[in-house]
Structure 1
């Protein structure tokens, strides 16, 4: 199959970070995103406005596609109702256990459309959420109910962008084929490499805010807590950029020399921190832009995963099964 013929869909699309990584391999045939400001940025960059709330979209109305992409939010899974169904003697599948969560919407679309592959992205704590029960249900749905061969890995983006950002990536294939996640370098570019030279004064913290952040950090450090601002080292990498960055920028502050308060990153620097190209348009307010880049993905990491996924599909190499161990019963049966 020609690598340019892959059709994919972009769910929980945000501003299109995952799409950017897959665009070289084909065509996006459907997009869904509920946040109106994110839709504005998506439309400015891709020329199309995403559909709205995925929970309101019939899976059978979504175009056929080869690859499903979704950076879905992690929600607590409600397992209530399963015991009720048991008491009523009604059948239920794992899919029912995820009702009321956004993962359920991914699962129902996979079930209806049967894509060749999918890529899901989430916070690394998805694995440990609710003592591992949440992820156990997700794996059961993907593997046992939907029948996909699933691979997962927690990857830190700091070898490709100057930011420590650990995320879990879940890759699945309809066929039992071999897949390996990309190797990511241990050391990456420095924070200095993405900083702008002439930054407007409005990004410098006011005296009041800077005094507040220092007092807040001191109060918590006396209690033995690590809460407080993060003054970044321009020759190293930053903390994780989050959607709350718009509030005070405290998790990543850039020092500006003696006698001057530190400053926030600019929206363009946030885009660079996530590996977005310089051509990516930022036409929303600073507040909206901070939320959008904080919620997005590290594009270079997803690009490397995308390349490996396409290679795996085209190689079509079956999973190597472990040699079956002969039990005493099987040995007797063979004699």
Structure 2
């Protein structure tokens, strides 16, 4: 629930605020909310913190799923960026930090130095049109030309400017096949041109949460620092027992999550129509002792991909807390937004425990390589 606070400002401040609101495309209320959060962060009394082996930045941070993953691996976040105001609100509620806004307007030099760049960048269309023309004119066609206009370019320019030891990128499985594989080829070439050794794998979160959710994870290590012979394996530690849908359900759920007769009838008719046409579209009743389909950002619309059967009643949607559990977020994670926004946020997020396992492998590899480099330095000094 949002509380109301009425404030008075003089004419000059009001005019500046009005102008800034128009330029930023945000309401005055949102501008003031961000300013107050920044003020609270700036004046917060810093408490002594433990030593961290590695620092990381959290780009396209969403609600912080990747941040939790790397914090569990012993990392310390020194910068975050997320443009969506509702996701910013959830991020602030859970981490006490207001992420930066539009990444395209951030000067890479202003981002703190860090060991690991973490980003779940959006998959926008990659255009390589014009590359052949530039080549015919004798112009360079490096990664900036290939990725300009996409948010992936911002990942590249930050990697180029800050040269972290490693990075971890996450995206949808279809990134590999987008535009007949050309998109992923551009990504690989762009990262290789920056002198990073690349490893990637499509991973399914179903062993860590009761959901079939495949995502591509791309790991990179700085070859200028570690050389070209870096090896990395996605040797994940699996839990002894895979969770099932029953494990994430709340005992008492409000009737507001039960589908109306009208919506339930529509979903059944829609499924029947597509089944008759030989298509696989339709709602999904999640098996209590099995796993669900992939939750998506559209879950708020009708919940059709993951429904829970109810005795004597229409099926129901998952609650926002159940969606959080479906993605592996701890129950201590705060949900300060509406159900609609919460569904979008969790549908766009990552499987936290899966990403945490990958994060541990990245940190372990860095520890091994840094230790080996330090040993060589000591031997060189002794020799």
1:296 counterpart (309, 328, 349):
349
Superimposed CA distance per residue, residues 141-187 of structure 1 (whole angstroms, 9 cap, x where no aligned partner): 112x1111111010100011000000000001112432211336497
| Alignment gaps of 5+ in structure 2 | 1-49, 372-383
Superimposed CA distance per residue, residues 214-264 of structure 1 (whole angstroms, 9 cap, x where no aligned partner): 00000111100111100111110000010000000000000012x310000
1:111: Cα distance to partner? 0.6
1:188 counterpart (242, 254, 261):
242
Superimposed CA distance per residue, residues 19-42 of structure 1 (whole angstroms, 9 cap, x where no aligned partner): 001114232111110100000000
| Higher mean displacement: 174-183 or 243-252 | 174-183
Per the alignment, residue 22 of structure 1 pairs with 70
Report if the CA contact (8 A) 2:236-2:358 is conserved. Answer: no
Per the alignment, residue 115 of structure 2 pairs with 66
Output the CA distance in 2 between the equivalents of 1:221 and 1:185: 36
What SS class does the counterpart of residue 315 from structure 2 fall into? coil
Matched, 1:94 2:143: yes
Per the alignment, residue 202 of structure 2 pairs with 154
Report if the CA contact (8 A) 1:182-1:304 is conserved. Answer: no
Matched, 1:123 2:172: yes
1:76: Cα distance to partner? 1.3
Per the alignment, residue 212 of structure 1 pairs with 266
1:99 and 1:14, CA in 2 relative to 1: closer, same or farther beyond 3 A? same
| Alignment gaps of 5+ in structure 1 | 319-335
Output the CA distance in 1 between the equivalents of 2:136 and 2:219: 35
Matched, 1:201 2:250: no
Per the alignment, residue 142 of structure 1 pairs with 191
What SS class does the counterpart of residue 308 from structure 2 fall into? coil
The structure with the greater share of residues assigned to helix is 2
| Higher mean displacement: 62-71 or 23-32 | 23-32
Report if the CA contact (8 A) 1:159-1:184 is conserved. Answer: no
Output the CA distance in 2 between the equivalents of 1:105 and 1:136: 17
What SS class does the counterpart of residue 4 from structure 1 fall into? coil
Output the CA distance in 2 between the equivalents of 1:224 and 1:26: 49
Per the alignment, residue 103 of structure 1 pairs with 152
Per the alignment, residue 217 of structure 2 pairs with 169
Aligned Cα RMSD in Å? 1.8
Output the CA distance in 1 between the equivalents of 2:217 and 2:51: 22
Query: Which contiguous aligned blocks of 4+ residues in structure 1 show a shift greater than 4 angstroms?
Result: 184-187
Output the CA distance in 1 between the equivalents of 2:203 and 2:256: 34
Output the CA distance in 2 between the equivalents of 1:221 and 1:3: 58
Report if the CA contact (8 A) 1:3-1:26 is conserved. Answer: no
1:82: Cα distance to partner? 1.7
Report if the CA contact (8 A) 2:66-2:355 is conserved. Answer: yes
Output the CA distance in 2 between the equivalents of 1:171 and 1:316: 15
| Higher mean displacement: 186-195 or 102-111 | 186-195
Matched, 1:310 2:363: yes
